């Protein structure tokens, strides 16, 4: 549920960060390192692999709901890389 609120602090349960900048500046690396340092398990989705919004949406939903197979209890951090390449963006 995208509008879900954390009852403990009243803030959105699902948080979003947008990193933008020129190619080759380390945005993806920063996202991975920051997520791991904050206790998240990183799940990456490359948006430029899908050209249809429905399939990209399904892949992101799958990544959000993915559970670790070895009993790892860390929450997922979904990194959607190359979002500008999705749907023919520039």
Residue 73 has pLDDT above 80, yes or no: no
Residue 71 has pLDDT above 80, yes or no: no
Average pLDDT over residues 21-41: 91
Q: Cα(26)–Cα(13) distance, rounded to whole angstroms?
A: 27
Task: Examine the pLDDT at 85 and tell me if it is beyond 70.
Answer: no
What does pLDDT average to over the chain?
Answer: 78
CB atoms inside a 10 Å sphere around CB 31: 19
* Nearest residue to 78 (alpha-carbon basis) of 11, 10, 15, 4: 15
Residue 88, pLDDT score: 55
Q: What is the pLDDT of residue 53?
A: 59
- Name the DSSP class of 64: H
Q: Residue 46 contacts by C-beta under 8 Å, 6 or more apart in sequence?
A: 81, 82
Sequence-ordered list of residues with C-beta below 8 angstroms from that of 17, at least 6 positions apart, any chain: 31
Predicted pLDDT of residue 90: 45
């Amino acid at each position: 549920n995208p509008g879900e609120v954390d009852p403990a602090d009243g803030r959105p349960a699902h948080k979003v960060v947008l990193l933008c900048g020129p190619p080759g500046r380390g945005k993806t690396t920063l996202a991975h390192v920051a997520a791991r340092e904050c206790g998240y398990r990183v799940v990456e989705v490359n948006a430029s692999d899908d050209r249809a919004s429905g399939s990209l949406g399904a892949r992101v939903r799958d990544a959000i709901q993915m559970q670790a197979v070895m009993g790892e209890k860390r929450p997922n951090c979904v990194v959607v890389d190359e979002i500008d390449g999705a749907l023919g963006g520039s």
